[in-house]
Structures are given as C-alpha cells and as structure tokens.
Amino acid sequence: MSVDQHIKEQVELVKKYIEDHFGFHMKDLDRDILNNFFIKIISGSISIKIWVKNFSSNAVLQKGLIEYLREIVSNTNQVLVLGTLGFKSASCAMIRRSLENIIVFLYYKDHPVEFFKKSMPTYRPLKIKDIKDYLQTYPFEMIYNDMFNSNELRSMVKKVISIWDQEYEELSNFIHTTNELYFELINYIDEITPQPDNLEYIRNRIEKMNSIINSFNILFFFNDYKHFSNEEKTLIRLSIENIGLKQKMIEIFGEI
C-alpha cells in the first residue's frame, strides 16, 4: 500500500470515529479544508511514530526517554479531535507542549544522570534557554566524525531553533496564564467553535511542528535515518513543509 493510500484510509477512519463518538457532522465544515487538516496531522503523527519505533530498539537511549516522543504522538492525536470540534486553545497547548518535548528529549539523550535525577524531589527543572544553548553548540564531531560539516550542522540547528522560538511564542498566546483574555470565561467559551479559520490555523501550527521535530531528528540521528525504508523516508520528508530546511539538509547530508 502506498503512503498516500494509507493516509487516506486513516483519514476516513478518523472521520468515522469523530462522527460516531461525538455526533459531529463533517458536512458542516469545508471538505477541502477538513481533509487537508486531517492529512497533515495524520501524516505528521505517523512520521513521529517511525522515530518512536526506531528508538524503541535503541539500547543506548535511557529507559523511559522515548516517552517524550510517545507523548508527542498522543498530543497530536488529541489535536486531531480537539481541533475538529473547535477547541483551538487546547489544541495549541498540546502543540506547545510537544515543542518542549522534542528539545528536552534531545537534551536528556546525552544526560542520563540528569534524566534520572528529574524524578527526585530536589530536582530543579531545566531552563529552556539552557537546553537551546546546548543544542546550538552541539559537538556533532562526536557522532559524525568528519563525515559531515559540523559547523553547518550547528548552523542548521540554529535555524530550526529560530523557527521553534517563533512557534513557541505564538502558541504561548493561548496559554491561560500568559493571556488575560482567558481569565474571562465568556471569551474562552466563545472561542470553542468549529470553523474553517481555526482548522487552518491549527493545521499551520502542526505543519511547523512536524518540520521542527523531523528536522531535529534527522540532524541528530542521521545514522539511524539513512537505514529507514524508502516509504518511511518519504513520509518523513513529506512532513517537513519547510523547503529551505529540506534543501539545506540535502546539501549537508547529500540526501534525506
């Protein structure tokens, strides 16, 4: 079965699930916008599942670390339902949490002691700035030797983090503690409305998230990625909407 056919089948299954369980009639929304919304979210979720499957058999990663990526898959699936029903703020909160998860995952993979200590009552949570600083100065020489230009890889990480920053700031507008509008209940309730504009907005946020997560994983785990099947690579490439990121990674690695 082709990648496109598999995604189309998943779209129909999701539509039926939402209609059966929530009594929500899809015909009330623009068909093209709704289909595009489903396709982007489902393809992104499957692309992350590919990484989860690969990392699950990776004996080097600490036990439990993969849960950060599994949570991203769970969040994405919830956005699929919440976004369709009109829960824009809840969807954005899930996406924002997923952006946090990917950089924390990348940090902890190199810090098993810190990962263990995080469950201790005296542990101080990591600062996002410190995580980003670590990733932007990452010693790629350690994992790729002289196979690829490490300075170009660090430059690429900075580009991805720049996009991450923009998205994180945008999504933070929907977190109640940062937006005074949501202290007014009526504003929050009024916003819960299934409508095309909300679907388009959430889809755009998901597209950016997919590009960020898959780009990060290729940059830090290219040795794993190059052994993926052609179908898996195709799906991951399709989930990176940012053409500039894809082109630059092709320049660095020769292929993606």
Give per-residue pLDDT as tens, 155-211. 999 999 999 999 999 999 887 555 555 444 445 455 566 678 889 999 999 999 999
Mean pLDDT across the chain: 87
Q: Please give the DSSP secondary-structure letter assigned to residue 254.
A: S
123's tokens: 């542990």
To the nearest 10°, report the CA torsion of 137, 141, 143, 148. 110
Mean local confidence (pLDDT), 110-139: 90
Residue 211 is predicted with a pLDDT of: 96
Residues 26/80, Cβ–Cβ less than 8 Å: no
Residues 156/164, Cβ–Cβ less than 8 Å: no
pLDDT digits (tens, 9 = 90+) for 22-66: 777 776 677 788 888 999 999 999 999 999 999 988 777 888 899
CA distances (Å), origin 217, targets 54, 84, 87, 249: 11, 28, 29, 12
Domain range enclosing 61: 3-253
Residues 18/84, Cβ–Cβ less than 8 Å: yes
User: ∠196-43-148 over CA atoms, to 5°?
Assistant: 125
CB neighbour list of residue 191: distance below 8 Å, 6 or more residues apart: 88, 89
- Structurally, the chain folds into a number of domains equal to 1
Q: Give, for 34, the enclosing helix (H) or strand (E).
A: helix 31-56
Residues 193/86, Cβ–Cβ less than 8 Å: yes
CA distances (Å), origin 68, targets 63, 158, 167, 204: 11, 22, 19, 22
Through-space distance between the first and last CA atoms of the chain, rounded to whole angstroms: 22
Residues 91/202, Cβ–Cβ less than 8 Å: yes
Residue 14 is predicted with a pLDDT of: 81
Neighbours of 106 (CB within 10 A): 20
Look at residue 73 and tell me whether its pLDDT is greater than 90. yes
Q: Please give the DSSP secondary-structure letter assigned to residue 65.
A: T
Residue 183 is predicted with a pLDDT of: 45
Among the listed residues 151, 130, 129, the one whose alpha carbon sits nearest the alpha carbon of residue 140: 151
| Angle (deg, nearest 10), helices 31-56 and 3-22 | 110
DSSP three-state, residue 227: coil
Residues 109/63, Cβ–Cβ less than 8 Å: no
Residue 182 is predicted with a pLDDT of: 46
